[in-house]
Structure 1
Amino acid sequence: MENVNKSLQLFKEYLQIEKNYSEYTIVHYEQSIEHFFLFLNQESISNLSDVTYSDVRLYLTELYKKQYARRTVAKKISTLRSFFNFLLREKLISQNPFSLVSLPKREQKLPHFLYEEELEKLFKVSDVSTSLGQRDQALLELLYATGIRVSECCKLTLQDLDFSVGTVFVHGKGNKQRYVPFGSYAEQALTNYIQKSRKELLKKASVHTNSLFLNFRGGPLTTRGVRLILNNMIKKTSSTIHISPHVLRHTFATHLLNEGADMRSVQELLGHENLSSTQVYTHVTKDHLRNIYLSSHPRA
């Protein structure tokens, strides 16, 4: 399986260098591909060029037997199709056995978002008299104010903020870049953090960094670190709600649409390549409108 593993390494380099995917995304790609490699090993297939459409169908059967969710199956197939397309481009194989496979229809799950009352509780939990509390407050305000992805947030440097016009320069997926505005609450929290606590945290660092958000050792904050911060915030509110950086992104989009923002603008702010990715939030806003109608219309 040496050539197989070498092909995976080449693909990972392609995702990292050419596609500029986050480390988090690349790990998920790698896990899906390695899962398929285990299947190939069971079937005594040692060369990727020997994989046929029949083998792919058998692999799909195995996934369904193990009761994988349709969403998981769709992600695995999409990843493997991309992997084999890369191998085809590099002329390591002569055909893509996944090209004829149709993806299973995904279950339509509405994105989870927070109501304003839930958000207010979160905004009050950080002890802003401490360095870490000021950092946490600035992080929360910026994530909600901009709807940026956690990976995008962790890439931000001090130079990416422009307080004169209230925008942040975001380095998005696939080398795509965009400017996203932020409001007065985020501006105040970021100013407090940068002028005071960031300088305190930076003193603990062994190497100087321009990263906007720092951990308690003064190094760049990671995506895992952001998730831990948000989880700790939730614990302080004694709330049962689930929160992640992506929930804040969902909340950002939902609140904008609920207040009348047009979908194209929200698409641009989120950095979605396709409008269909943004349209999922209309299901939430339609539900919101229906509730308003039912509670307000005399003959509802």
Structure 2
Amino acid sequence: MTQPKQESVLSVDWQQPIDNFLYYLQYERGYSKNTLASYQRQLQQVGLSVYNNPEWQQLNWFTLEQAQLKQHINTLRLAGIKPRTIALKVAALRSFFSFLQAQKLRQDNPALYLTLPKAARDLPKNLAIDQVNHLLNFDSSDDILASRDKAILELFYSSGLRLEELVNLNINDIDWQQKLLRVIGKGNKQRLVPVGSLALNAIQHWLSMRPAFSQQLAEADKLALFVSKQHKRISARHVRQRVQLWAKQQGLSQHLHPHMLRHSFASHMLESSQDLRAVQELLGHANLSTTQVYTHLDFTHLAKVYDSAHPRAKKKS
């Protein structure tokens, strides 16, 4: 007997609530395109799983219960889906059903008490200080692309920016006198971060060469801090490519991506200052627990502090 063909696209009554939720996240919460795409992907996958289950034909987003969600999560576990992926899916469901509650379309949140498989938290990878110095040690005086790229790399490491935060920067976000940068982070939240002198010098040099790329900019990109030779605001994808190019050109053995420079900034700042709250503010983390992962990065440093400070760290002869 042949199996019924599964639908790969949700019907309108399943898709419309998702679209309403995404509209809310984009225009009222200011979520990034990447976050919106992730929410859409997670919710559509759950919707299709329920929609294509013959036993659940009568269900929809407004009648789906915790039992069906538990069964779906168990199916994912048995299929070997990573705990972190399952956690993303549950987080999307919780937010989505909270939205439906707020819209008076549901009385409960069936995803609220779903239990999650425990996932090992990976330590973020970062460059050593010597590696960062080597990466940034190239001449950009006469090359416009090198000038722009050096300003980008310096700024990533100087201020710990996310990739989306960097590409969305405008020239007027820089306070040259106070050496501060206005950043629009996740959830459209604004924060001020310091900028180091070397990064400011690199930006100034780039701005002196920027007119060659800015003659034909669209009105929306007129103030963009970083632009491409295609005469538009630089894209996140382009930045990733340029970061990888310079890592290869400077002889770094590991794969380098923009977030690794943010991790390097965080771990080096924490190693030097031991001020977790300050690093949390600089990174724009909503929760201190997100920042605390960096406390595990330098065991050697912590061991030295312990050995020198603890009265019983070493045996007396």
Amino acid corresponding to residue 33 of structure 1 in structure 2: L
Partner of residue 93, structure 2: 80
CA distance 1:128–1:56, shift in 2 (3 Å): farther
Deviation at 1:289, TM superposition (A): 2.6
Query: Contact 2:135/2:252 (CA < 8 Å) preserved in 1?
Result: no
Deviations 1:143-184 (A, max 9, x none): 100001111111111110011111100111112111100111
Partner of residue 2, structure 1: 12
Deviations 1:242-294 (A, max 9, x none): 22221111111100111124111111111111111111100113454337879
Query: Is 2:104 aligned against 1:94?
Result: no
Query: Contact 1:126/1:233 (CA < 8 Å) preserved in 2?
Result: no
Deviations 1:184-225 (A, max 9, x none): 1101100000122x1111124355511111122120112222
Amino acid corresponding to residue 200 of structure 1 in structure 2: A
Between the aligned partners of 2:234 and 2:51, the Cα distance in structure 1 is 39
Higher mean displacement: 71-80 or 44-53: 44-53
Q: Give the 3-state SS of the residue equivalent to 2:193 in structure 1.
A: strand
* Equivalences for residues 48-197 of structure 1 within 5 A: 48-125=61-138, 127-196=140-209
Deviations 1:102-152 (A, max 9, x none): 233231211111101221232135644211111100000001000011111
Between the aligned partners of 1:267 and 1:287, the Cα distance in structure 2 is 22
CA distance 1:106–1:125, shift in 2 (3 Å): farther
Partner of residue 49, structure 2: 39
* Equivalences for residues 136-285 of structure 1 within 5 A: 136-196=149-209, 198-205=210-217, 207=219, 209-285=222-298
Amino acid corresponding to residue 86 of structure 2 in structure 1: V
TM-score norm. by structure 1 comes to 0.92
Higher mean displacement: 86-95 or 65-74: 86-95
Higher mean displacement: 284-293 or 131-140: 284-293
Q: Give the 3-state SS of the residue equivalent to 1:179 in structure 2.
A: strand
Between the aligned partners of 1:182 and 1:136, the Cα distance in structure 2 is 16
CA distance 1:4–1:223, shift in 2 (3 Å): same
Deviation at 1:60, TM superposition (A): 0.6
Partner of residue 5, structure 2: none
Query: Contact 1:125/1:236 (CA < 8 Å) preserved in 2?
Result: no
Segments of 5+ residues of structure 2 without an aligned counterpart are 1-10, 308-312
Amino acid corresponding to residue 114 of structure 2 in structure 1: V
Deviations 1:81-121 (A, max 9, x none): 11111112112233221112023323121111110122123
CA distance 1:18–1:103, shift in 2 (3 Å): farther
CA distance 1:76–1:126, shift in 2 (3 Å): farther
Query: Contact 1:78/1:103 (CA < 8 Å) preserved in 2?
Result: no
Between the aligned partners of 1:184 and 1:170, the Cα distance in structure 2 is 18
Between the aligned partners of 1:85 and 1:3, the Cα distance in structure 2 is 18
TM-score norm. by structure 2 comes to 0.87
Higher mean displacement: 221-230 or 203-212: 203-212
Query: Contact 2:149/2:242 (CA < 8 Å) preserved in 1?
Result: yes
Segments of 5+ residues of structure 1 without an aligned counterpart are none
Q: RMSD of aligned C-alpha atoms?
A: 2.2
Partner of residue 4, structure 2: none
Query: Is 2:36 aligned against 1:23?
Result: no
Q: Matched residue pairs, number?
A: 298
CA distance 1:216–1:91, shift in 2 (3 Å): same
Between the aligned partners of 2:230 and 2:47, the Cα distance in structure 1 is 39
